[in-house]
Structure 1
Amino acid sequence: MWFVQQLLLVFLFFLFFSKYLKIKWKARSLPPGPSPFPIIGNLWTLCFNIHPETLNKLAKLYGNIYTVWLGETPLIVLHGYKAVKNAIVSHSEEMSGRPVSDFMKDVSNGKGIVVSNGHSWKQQRRFGLMTLRNLGLGKCGMESRIQKEAQGLVEVLAAQNGKPTDVSNFIIHSVANVIASVVFGHRFSIDDPTFQKLVAVNQHLIDSLGSKWGRLYNAFPWLMKHLPGPHQTAFKNREYMYDFVRNEIRIHQQNESPKEPDDVIYHYLAQIAKTNGDPTSTYDMANLIQVVVDFFTAGTESTATTLQWAILLMLAYPDTQEKIHKELKMVLQDSSAITYEDRKRLPYTNAVIHEIQRFGNIASVGTLRRNIKDITLDGYSIKKDTNILPNLDSVLHDPQYWETPYKFNPKHFLDKDGNFKSNVAFLPFSAGHRVCLGEQLARSELTIFFITLLRAFRFLLPEGVTEVNTKYVPKLTLQPHPYKVCIIQK
């Protein structure tokens, strides 16, 4: 028995030592970083999650390009604007790959735009860009949809009569209706139980992807697929969304197609018909379903969360809110609808919107990339198919480009004369080939919703509340802590 125990210890020693040597051999040409442990790599150092604070501390020790190990897989981290730009802009094509977690891949069936790669991704993304342009992105048609939902939100919030209110669900439903009109061709009543369930299911699916159960699934996919738990609810919710989309597709197929398709589904069905018989085409029903889900999920989450941060920050900085009110009163006519172009006449308000996106960055460190070719970054040779993280948090807080990187400061976007100025390090939507597909739509929505709300209301803290919690709740995106606000009509 003693001999068996000793033999087992020797075996484990050589196993761990061989794993360690394997990592060290792979690391010889990679950027420096913390020494990894066998099997778990630097997961202990990272507290088994990738937090901005931890990555920032490592950058101070190892520089603006360094390596951490997720188990036995290296991850190259890029810190600060220059390092990130050099990778995702200067090597845009080479950096267009995306590693996909097992949970994300299984939830999406590997289809659509968000998780796909290669030829399929290029075709699906090209379709998305083309369709948004055809549907009037940046034009009056799209703006009228946003204006309608923004005004509807004003009416809903006005009905709260100034009592302390959690605005999150109202905002989510209004933003969801914008993207619903884009993908389905129609909006829903906010009281429609089917729409309410769709929004709730969508929100739960998003939360699941960023949960500890999701991380466990990624670590042990072969096991978690068969174990019960909250992660299994994500697959039920996915099926609900798929069934909802299938039903919308059937309705579109039963109706006569318009000469000019007016939503994503009609455009995609036309693309399937157009490419029928083309062996290189990836336009099919499975991709259509996931593309619609991708549009709806991403189109709801980013803008809705940013608007929740916007109102919270107006509570935290009442002087800023007051300055916006003065500018809006001075510049805008009371009866005119807000347009995206109005931002040019409202430099201070435009600066505040940009600072909300910078300070209340919802994307945290951003998403992983994978180089599809061998590249050289800062003198280091990075072999094809290496996981790379362009840390967006470090870009939006880079002290070389932001005067007060960790303070809310609209002056970051104003020159000495009070005119709006841009900043090259403002990359909340990332950049390069994987830049957010809906960036222009999100910008338009955020501008129109925010200005419409600030023109109609003053947002005040409930009686007895004296502090505002501006720390985030880490989920798939960075969420504000739940809060209530008193909405007073001007």
Structure 2
Amino acid sequence: MDLLGSPMLLLFICLSCLIFLAAWRKKDKHKNLPPGPTPLPLIGNLLQLKTKNIMEPLQKMCEKYGPVFTIYFGSERMVILHSYDTLKKVLVEHGDEFINRGSFPIIDKFTKERGIFMNSGEGWVQLYRFSLTTLRNLGMGKKSIEERILEEVKHLEKELQARNGQPFNPAFFLSSATCNVISHILFGVRFDYQDEELLQMLHWLSYTYWFQSSPVGKFYNLFHRIMDYLPGPHQTYFKNLSNVQDWIAQKVKDHERTLDPNNPRDFIDYFLLKMEQERNDPKTVFTKENLIVAIFDIFFAGTETTSTTLRYMFMVLTEHPAVAAKVHEEIERVIGHERPPAMKDCPEMPYTEAVLHEVQRYLDLAPLGFIHSARRDFEIEGFTIPQGTPIFPMLSCALHDPKYFKNPHQFDPENFLDERGAFKKNSADMPFSAGKRSCLGEGLARMQRFLYLTSILQNFQLKHPPGVTKIDLTPEGLSLTQHLGLDAALHVHYSHPKDGIGNVNGPLLTVQGLRF
């Protein structure tokens, strides 16, 4: 085995060095590249990037090389953008120059440049515009979706009350609730929380979310050509993606059989009608393959990121009872107990809105943003980003920029309040990115967070369970998204409207030993 393995290892090293040298020659053609640390053959700057928290070494590189610098992930050259001012210049002021996506093997293998998230060029423009218009037609940002979310809130609150003070993990229920909202938009259905189909889907999505942010996932992006032939968790990841694709394809087939052109029910129906309109156009992007990937893009983003933020929000409020008390007070004053919350309440609740924005900023869910690429050579900060170069806009640096946040590294709702206590927008607040490739579902996500927070705190209080005095709120700092590898614990006290918010004699719900 060793005799066979050694020549293969030698061949691997030689090929990798050739790839590196080719990339290095390409670098020589661009003498005005942004500065950066010297890469090593094969691994690039991998040794300088910590596995647990990639943001720390990137921050140190920024301090040394400036807000625009070059690093190598393996043989792949990438440019990192640091500071809010730099991100604004690239994503907003010159967004058209960086509207394309770069290569991201862990996702590319599944999407094959289809759908919305990883697509580029005119195809992406058409799919994005259609999807945004369709989501709005289906009620995104309107009263109909608000009512749908509030209906799901009732199911969630029923599950919380049913725990009756016993320890339980709320992660599944929050994922189920957010999944049902997006399922209603995409498929026109709602799943019972114990539905086997829902349980299977959430398992696949959860594994996908974890793997994309894991060290193994990062390693796959570096050496995907070789890892494709090796066993490991990446094979499970791609198997799960294939299962999700098959599941969505079956939903599409079901819709084809029951489609009523005069009464489109959901996103799939609208897309199928668009496909029919353009069936004679050989260049159309409205194909079944694009439909399946687009549904996955929206479904994945609309479920896991929102539920993760909700979990973190309740954990933060448990750790900051004074903040939670102010939210309770605002709910009591503006909404009361005679009716459910509504989006019309949001402008009258500046402190609650500030808390929601601060939780999102503090969580820093996508610290590196997501990959873009330069459509042509671009001059910035006296340097040249060559055409086709992948860039990562570090959203984390904007969310922690001391020029725009007075307490950038602490949880402090005052970051979004003015001296009169009114809600204050902040241009550096870009957790959903910025520019033309900002998150498609930002409006829906913000609506859900407001309605879930106010609805639950209208009836519940959050407290540490007996024996627990502190929750570790530190996410595992990973490259693409923050993964909540948190051991958390909290009490949720149910308060019947007649008993008042502060009642502690009602049934208790305890969330212990969470492993998100």
Shorter-chain TM-score: which interval?
over 0.9
Instruction: State the identity as a percent.
Output: 35
Secondary structure of 1:175 counterpart: helix
In the alignment, is residue 373 of structure 1 matched against residue 364 of structure 2? no
Which of 157, 160, 164 aligns to 2:163? It is 160
Gaps of 5+ in 2: 1-9, 496-516
Give matches, 1:415-430, under 5 Å. 415-430=418-433
Residue 437 of structure 1 corresponds to 440
Secondary structure of 2:102 counterpart: coil
Partner Cα separation in structure 2 for residue 407 and residue 256 of structure 1: 51
Residue 5 of structure 1 corresponds to none
Which of 122, 129, 134 aligns to 2:125? It is 122
Partner Cα separation in structure 1 for residue 442 and residue 24 of structure 2: 44
Given that 1:163 and 1:486 are in contact with CA atoms closer than 8 Å, whether structure 2 keeps it comes out as no
Given that 2:81 and 2:87 are in contact with CA atoms closer than 8 Å, whether structure 1 keeps it comes out as yes
Partner Cα separation in structure 2 for residue 189 and residue 370 of structure 1: 42
Secondary structure of 1:473 counterpart: coil
Change (3 A) 1:20 1:478: closer
Deviations 1:260-316 (A, max 9, x none): 423110011011001111122111111111111111111001110110110010111
Deviations 1:296-341 (A, max 9, x none): 1110011101101100101110110011111111111323232223
Deviations 1:409-458 (A, max 9, x none): 00011111111111010000001121011111111111111111111110
Which of 323, 327, 333 aligns to 1:324? It is 327
**Equivalent AA in structure 1 for residue 195 of structure 2:** D
Change (3 A) 1:151 1:444: same
Partner Cα separation in structure 2 for residue 266 and residue 373 of structure 1: 38
Deviations 1:45-97 (A, max 9, x none): 12368722221111111111122222333222111110110111011111111
Give the Å deviation of 1:125.
1.3
Residue 506 of structure 2 corresponds to none
In the alignment, is residue 290 of structure 1 matched against residue 293 of structure 2? yes
Given that 1:371 and 1:387 are in contact with CA atoms closer than 8 Å, whether structure 2 keeps it comes out as yes
Residue 88 of structure 1 corresponds to 91
Deviations 1:30-55 (A, max 9, x none): 12222223343222212368722221
Give the Å deviation of 1:26.
4.7
Partner Cα separation in structure 2 for residue 185 and residue 20 of structure 1: 48
Give the Å deviation of 1:482.
3.6
Given that 1:252 and 1:265 are in contact with CA atoms closer than 8 Å, whether structure 2 keeps it comes out as yes
Change (3 A) 1:452 1:20: closer
Residue 487 of structure 1 corresponds to 492
**Equivalent AA in structure 2 for residue 142 of structure 1:** I
Secondary structure of 1:75 counterpart: strand
Change (3 A) 1:265 1:35: same
In the alignment, is residue 261 of structure 1 matched against residue 264 of structure 2? yes
Which of 110, 113, 123 aligns to 2:113? It is 110
In the alignment, is residue 468 of structure 1 matched against residue 471 of structure 2? yes
Residue 509 of structure 2 corresponds to none
Structure 1 length normalisation: TM-score?
0.93
Given that 2:20 and 2:75 are in contact with CA atoms closer than 8 Å, whether structure 1 keeps it comes out as no
Which of 458, 461, 472 aligns to 1:458? It is 461
In the alignment, is residue 396 of structure 1 matched against residue 394 of structure 2? no
Residue 132 of structure 1 corresponds to 135
Partner Cα separation in structure 2 for residue 444 and residue 294 of structure 1: 19
Given that 2:34 and 2:385 are in contact with CA atoms closer than 8 Å, whether structure 1 keeps it comes out as no
Q: Which moved more, 1:254-263 or 1:58-67?
A: 254-263
Residue 303 of structure 1 corresponds to 306
Secondary structure of 1:447 counterpart: helix
**Equivalent AA in structure 2 for residue 168 of structure 1:** A
Secondary structure of 2:409 counterpart: coil
Partner Cα separation in structure 2 for residue 245 and residue 67 of structure 1: 39
The count of residues paired between Structure 1 and Structure 2 equals 480
Q: Which moved more, 1:60-69 or 1:297-306?
A: 60-69
Given that 1:160 and 1:487 are in contact with CA atoms closer than 8 Å, whether structure 2 keeps it comes out as no
Change (3 A) 1:27 1:331: same
Given that 2:37 and 2:45 are in contact with CA atoms closer than 8 Å, whether structure 1 keeps it comes out as yes
In the alignment, is residue 477 of structure 1 matched against residue 477 of structure 2? no
Secondary structure of 1:297 counterpart: helix
Partner Cα separation in structure 1 for residue 388 and residue 19 of structure 2: 25
Residue 362 of structure 1 corresponds to 365
Gaps of 5+ in 1: 1-7
Partner Cα separation in structure 1 for residue 463 and residue 52 of structure 2: 36
Secondary structure of 1:320 counterpart: helix
**Equivalent AA in structure 2 for residue 487 of structure 1:** V
Partner Cα separation in structure 1 for residue 52 and residue 477 of structure 2: 11
Give the Å deviation of 1:381.
2.4
Secondary structure of 2:408 counterpart: coil
Change (3 A) 1:274 1:18: closer
**Equivalent AA in structure 2 for residue 393 of structure 1:** S
Secondary structure of 2:420 counterpart: coil
Residue 149 of structure 2 corresponds to 146
Give the Å deviation of 1:479.
3.0
Structure 2 length normalisation: TM-score?
0.88
Partner Cα separation in structure 2 for residue 264 and residue 212 of structure 1: 35
Residue 227 of structure 1 corresponds to 230
